[in-house]
Chain A
Amino acid sequence: MDEIFGIPAPLLFGQLLLGLINGAFYALLSLGLAVIFGMLNVINFTHGAQFMLGAFVAWALLSFLGLGYWWALLLAPLIVGAFGVLLERTMISRLYKLDHLYGLLLTFGVGLIVEGLVRNEFGSSGLPYRIPAELQGSWDLGFMFMPIYRGWVVVVAIVACLATWLVIEKTKIGSYLRAATENPALVQAFGINVPLMMTLTYGAGVALAAFAGVLAAPIYSVNPQMGANLIIIVFAVVVIGGMGSILGSVVTGFGLGIIEGLTKVFWPEASATVIFVVMAIVLLTRPAGLFGRA
């Protein structure tokens, strides 16, 4: 078993692994998007900008306050999440009763503003952010060198996905949340503050994006465009998984990461398009996505 389809087997394994790592980012980002859509019915197009903000806050914490990666991992989601809460309270909450399109356009506009402001302040070419000392270096897996940091990303992403899933599916708060999306009036009648829950949910979804941003900061250049390039792919992941399905977005995120990884070996030019091919096929055969309820 030296070669598979003309590609040396070790290389192929390596690529599968890398696909999985990319998938971790897709999963984490689409998770936030799915939570927000599932609970609030809002298509959050600012997600890319919020991901980017997470990375910039990490950079700012280091440069201005001397707070390193571990602090950023904790603080950046809180700071950007607070921004999300503000956004939800002042703007998004006015749109719940309207068509999805308006939420999408509003968040798209906010994304443009955020990206523009960051670009004016910090330029477009990006800022350096280094891998923390504890996670530098790589493991020799025999068939390739695996940077420790990438392994860390996968582990953290899986933990975050599991935790989110557990909170929503297995806790009391999660059950209120699910109930509130089905019938907000009834849940409100039970004495639960539904608007507050919506706000916090949005904040949590945004915090997830910022968390992914901090994870991405050491391996991708911290620049204003870093989210814009990802958002459309992540959006596709959510649709394929089934809008609002948490399990769906996580599984699809990892799955598409692997499919994309394989495409990068066999036909690299098409690796950005393959996701859309998958999306078209899935939607034609399973209208509500892989895990969605029609």
Chain B
Amino acid sequence: MAAPGGFGGTDFKHEDEVVLGFTKSQLLAFGVMVAFFVVAPFFLYPVFLMKVLCFALFACAFNLLIGYVGLLSFGHAAYFGMGGYLAGHAAKVWGFTPEIAILIGGAVGGLLGLVFGWIAIRRQGIYFAMITLALAQMVYFFCLQAPFTGGEDGIQAIPRGSLFGAIPLGNDMAMYWTTAGVFLIGFLLIHRIVHSPFGMVLKSIRENEPRATSLGYRTDDYKLMAFVLSATLAGVAGGTKSIVFGIATLTDVFWTMSGEVVLMSLVGGLGTIFGPVVGAAVIITMQNYLAEFGAWVTVIQGAIFVLCVLAFRRGIVGEIGNWLRVRL
């Protein structure tokens, strides 16, 4: 698949990377984001913010593949959902502390990503998307049939437990800071990956795979590695979500969830660092606050997607960056 339309054509100013691979404007945006998440829980409902954080991490993980390797996965719900189920099971049945449960979620996502990625990276473009979808649907079927997932009732009443066995997370604020911590680690990790030499190779694969191959890179290995990383972080996001909400259900493994994460990234801006975060915030806000408009939810959502594709193709962050001529 070609690089998503709209990128590369813009004449960005060259900005030097200052700290941790961030440019000045990115550092500023990062500061705004962190400040927002620090201040927000005092104004906005923390559980809602935690949901935003979980989905933001999920969208960032997805964006690692589409934005930087050019691979459109249409099956990311599998890693997110399975991570959620296993983390929930680990916390509820095996009695692990939340951080271990979340790590188990990530490991499951990563393992699944290794197997599925190994199968899928042989194909490109729409065929890659379709194989990932097909594999994810099989995971959905497994989750529907497997006894431990509780069918469509899901795993309910997963305990939040105590972080490191010491800090009880029943309190929403304690849970919030933990979730924010998980998100921030994930976010910085992705940023680090993208700006490492490894990330440079990924981007060169996106731009011109045959060329990267001719330069002696084993592109399949790189793609698989990126796939596994993306799936692992999706699993972490799913695991965190299970702990926060105390539930893991079939919604998280169904193909509509895979579609949702594509939409989040697109609305925010594909291939931008902050886009998926903003996109996740927008979509989750819509789900929650449009809920009071009852039946109009789907209509309004649809209208926003149409508007995005027709008028703001770079996504919110992409458009802002383009307008300011900086990469965000």
Smallest Cβ distance from B75 to chain A, in angstroms? 10
Q: Which of A170-188 contact B (CB under 8 A)?
A: none
A224 closest partner in B (C-beta)? B298
Contacts of B125 in A (CB 8 A): 100
In Å, the complex CA distance between A119 and B297 comes to: 11
A239-275 interface (Cβ within 8 A of B): 239, 243, 269-270, 272-273
* Shortest beta-carbon distance from B112 to chain A in Å: 14
Q: Is the interface of B mostly helix, strand, loop or mixed?
A: helix
Q: Determine if A113 is an interface residue (Cβ-Cβ < 8 Å).
A: yes
The residue among B1, B140, B306, B313 with the most chain A CB atoms within 10 A of its own CB is: B306
Give the residue of B131, B262, B295, B309 whose beta carbon is less than 8 angstroms from that of A106.
B309
Judge if B30 is at the interface, Cβ distance under 8 Å. no
**B-contacting residues, A80-119, CB 8 Å:** 91, 94-95, 97-102, 105-106, 108-117, 119
Fill in one digit per residue for B123-160: 1 if any A CB lies within 8 Å of its CB, else 0. 10111001101110110110001000000000000000
User: With a CB–CB cut-off of 8 A, which chain B residues contact A115?
Assistant: 298
| A112-B305 in contact given A269-B145, A276-B138 (Cβ < 8 Å) | yes
> In the complex, are the beta carbons of B145 and A284 less than 8 A apart?
no
Number of residues of chain B lying within 8 A (CB) of chain A: 41
Asked if B266 is at the interface (CB within 8 A of a chain A CB), the reply is yes
A112 touches B310 (CB 8 A): no
What's the Cα separation between A112 and B122 when bound, in Å?
A: 33
- CB pair A101–B137 under 8 Å, yes or no, is no
| Distance of A113 Cα from B310 Cα, bound (Å) | 15
State whether the Cβ of A279 lies closer than 8 Å to any Cβ in chain B: yes
- Cβ of A277 within 8 Å of any chain B Cβ, yes or no, is yes
A110–B296 contact, CB under 8 A? no
Q: Which residues of A contact B123 (CB under 8 A)?
A: 283-284, 287
B301 touches A284 (CB 8 A): no
Contact partner, A109, options B5, B133, B303, Cβ 8 Å? B303
Within the assembled complex, what's the spacing in Å between the Cα atoms of A43 and B262? 15
Contacts of B4 in A (CB 8 A): 99, 101
Answer whether residue B2 sits at the interface, using C-beta atoms and an 8 A cutoff: yes
Tell whether A287 pairs with B127 under 8 Å between CB atoms, given A105-B309, A280-B135: yes
Contact in complex: B259, A109 (CB < 8 Å): no
Query: Do A284 and B119 touch across chains, with their CB atoms under 8 A apart?
Result: yes
Q: Which A residues touch B2, using CB under 8 A?
A: 99
Within the complex, the shortest CB–CB distance from A98 to chain B, in Å, comes to 4
Are B1 and A99 in touch, CB under 8 angstroms? yes
Q: Does B127 contact A105, Cβ atoms closer than 8 Å?
A: no
List 18 interface pairs A-B (beta carbons < 8 Å), by A numbering. A98-B313, A100-B1, A101-B266, A102-B5, A105-B266, A106-B306, A109-B302, A109-B306, A109-B308, A113-B306, A116-B302, A117-B299, A232-B255, A236-B133, A236-B134, A239-B127, A277-B138, A283-B123
Q: 7 closest Cβ contacts across the A-B interface?
A: A112-B302, A109-B305, A116-B299, A113-B302, A116-B298, A276-B134, A276-B137
